[in-house]
Amino acid sequence: KHLRCSDDTPQCSRCRSKGLECIRPGRTKPFRQGSAANFDYRFPDSQTWLRSNAREFRLYTSSRGRAQRIPTEADPNLEDDALEVPTGVDRTQVHQENDHSTEARQIREACLLAYYVDELSHWFDIADPLRSFEILVPERAKHYPPLLNAIYAVSARHICRLRQYRTPDGRIMYRDQLLHDTHPGTAVEYMLKALPALRGFHTTYDEDTRGLMVATAIILRQFEEMEDDHDDDEEEAKRADPDSPNTPPQRVNFLSIISTVLKSSNTEEWSNHSSLLKASYWIALRQEIYYGLLKGHPPDFVQTPQIYANASPTNRLIIHASHVTAWHFDGRSEQEWLILKQQEETLEETVVKQFEPILSLPPKKEDGHVFPIIWYHSAIGLTAMQHFLLAKMILLAESPLLAQSSDARSAFREAELRVRSIALDICGIAIQHPKTPPALVNAALAIHLYGHFFVDHYERQALKGVIGRFRDACAWPVPRPLQQFE
């Protein structure tokens, strides 16, 4: 029989009959707010909560894709200043660690800025005698953080790709200084810091600020070119399953920002624009020619007679290259081809003569040489002539008159021979000017366009060497059509 213990007796009958000490625990009252079955409790208003939202989180949608920044809500009731050092932690040690972190960041950013000036600025100033991106941009970046962060981003991405700056244990060293916490993710972080300022370019009317914004977009577009190695993979992933969470995010259209600012500028007063804005225009035009020839689309860029009239001889040849690129991927009408050929002849008579090489020798094939020796007095002349030769090569190879010839097969063979000769000239110029890495970009474009014209084994091996130089010197991804030469 069950004997119930009672609070009225000092000892229950069961314990008393067995001679045991009766020890009864106090009765606990269960928590009865809400449902105990599904744990849907209602907590009192005085309950203290820990902050559960992250300050910042980056979502990697794929192993190759960029990190997407996930915005977080700030808690107005919890400021960083209110956070206290936990009990038992040495405050001196915390301050020392913070000082060390600050010093490491200062060293890293100083090295990245120096690396930009020493190694990357000439990529932008290749046709600018004023060297605006070497001299003016770093100075202006001191007072415009987005531009400074863009410089850090492109420098970090470039230096991480070159082996000569790696220590045996894999860290980055520049000018005898270790760059702590410098990796490809560092470049992305700086890029994300530079992007927000570009959102307001539609409502910015101050020309000085516009120039800084365009310069920022120009540098970030160079960063995008160095990140271009997985573009084809991204496009395939988007076409296969655009709604997949593993589909990489779309990239920022820096060209749209650049074009909008330049289109809204008064081209009639182009000569009065700031030197930085004018320099940015010509860089953006060269970038668009590169993208157009590489991706197979006409340049989408503002060009007016006023701009052409005020262009330097170098930039007139570059504008001609942009016109030929537009024709190549948009229409290919015979009438437009005739106009471009007439423009080519006019430029040869009036402009090209200003860029005669200081040395021009045919290749010594008996010694195994494939490329001619062609020297120019400056990088400006080199850049102008490479763009002119690219345009000339396209007009030869894609001439609508070839099929109309009485002996079409012979006409095509003759055109292919001349195209191969021009391509070898472009590559020879790049090899003979090792201190001008951008020349290798134009050489890679020539191979990309008409490398399939080459069937000779020794010539193809020589082109393979050019692609290897392009990969090692430029730290740019090798486009997929060129990988057959690697």
374-389 tens-digit pLDDT: 999 999 999 999 999 9
pLDDT of amino acid 420:
98
Mean pLDDT of 19-26: 68
Domain ranges of the chain: 97-230, 333-486
| CA dist list (Å): 70 to 53, 57, 63, 191, 198 | 11, 6, 17, 15, 18
The sign of the CA dihedral 355, 356, 359, 360 is: positive
Lowest mean pLDDT segment, chosen from 215-229, 333-347, 399-413: 215-229
pLDDT at 350 over 80: yes
pLDDT at 401 over 80: yes
Higher pLDDT, 191 or 259: 191
CB atoms within 10 A of CB 477: 17
Higher pLDDT, 22 or 75: 22
Residues paired with 58 in a beta bridge:
69
Residues paired with 35 in a beta bridge:
40
| Vertex 326: Cα angle to 320 and 329 (nearest 5) | 140
| C-beta separation of 421 from 459 below 8 A | no
d(CA 109, CA 155): 10
Q: What percent of the chain has pLDDT over 70?
A: 71
d(CA 183, CA 92): 30
d(CA 420, CA 417): 5
The sign of the CA dihedral 243, 246, 251, 252 is: positive
| Residue 265 pLDDT class (50, 70, 90 cuts) | low
- Coil, helix or strand at residue 270: helix
| Vertex 315: Cα angle to 113 and 383 (nearest 5) | 65
| Residue 77 pLDDT class (50, 70, 90 cuts) | very low
Higher pLDDT, 108 or 89: 108
Phi, psi (5° rounding) for residue 296? 85, 45
| Straight-line distance from the first to the last Cα atom of the chain, in angstroms, rounded to the nearest whole number | 93
Mean pLDDT of 330-359: 95
Higher pLDDT, 44 or 416: 416
pLDDT at 161 over 70: yes
| Residue 70 pLDDT class (50, 70, 90 cuts) | very low
Phi, psi (5° rounding) for residue 57? -145, 135
pLDDT digits over 426-449, tens only? 999 999 999 999 999 999 999 999
pTM of the complete model: 0.75
pLDDT at 363 over 80: yes
Higher pLDDT, 259 or 223: 223
- Coil, helix or strand at residue 377: coil
Mean pLDDT of 180-202: 89
d(CA 351, CA 359): 18
Residues paired with 234 in a beta bridge:
none
Beta strands in 279-375 (DSSP E): 359-361, 373-375
| C-beta separation of 449 from 394 below 8 A | yes
| DSSP annotation string for 48-89 | -----S-S-EEEESSSSSPEEEEP----TT--GGG--PPTTS
| C-beta separation of 398 from 328 below 8 A | yes
Phi-psi region of 176 (alpha: psi -120 to 50; beta: other; left: phi over 0): left
Token digits of residue 90: 């040495």
| Residue 28 pLDDT class (50, 70, 90 cuts) | low
pLDDT of amino acid 243:
52
Mean pLDDT of 328-337: 93
Token digits of residue 188: 């992305």
pLDDT of amino acid 477:
72
| Residue 316 pLDDT class (50, 70, 90 cuts) | very high
pLDDT at 47 over 70: no
d(CA 169, CA 29): 62
Q: Report the number of secondary-structure helices (H) and strands (E) in the chain.
A: 17, 6
pLDDT at 15 over 80: no
Nearest to 341 by CA among 400, 280, 405, 274: 400
| Residue 307 pLDDT class (50, 70, 90 cuts) | confident
pLDDT at 452 over 70: yes
pLDDT at 309 over 90: no
Higher pLDDT, 161 or 266: 161
d(CA 482, CA 72): 43
Lowest mean pLDDT segment, chosen from 261-270, 284-293, 329-338, 347-356: 261-270
d(CA 206, CA 265): 11
- The number of angstroms, rounded, from the C-alpha of 330 to the middle of its chain's C-alpha atoms is 27
Higher pLDDT, 247 or 311: 311
Q: What is the identity of the amino acid at 225?
A: E
- Coil, helix or strand at residue 24: coil
Token digits of residue 105: 């960041």
- The number of angstroms, rounded, from the C-alpha of 450 to the middle of its chain's C-alpha atoms is 26
pLDDT at 69 over 50: no
Burial group, residue 343, by CB count within 10 angstroms (0-12, 13-18, 19+): middle
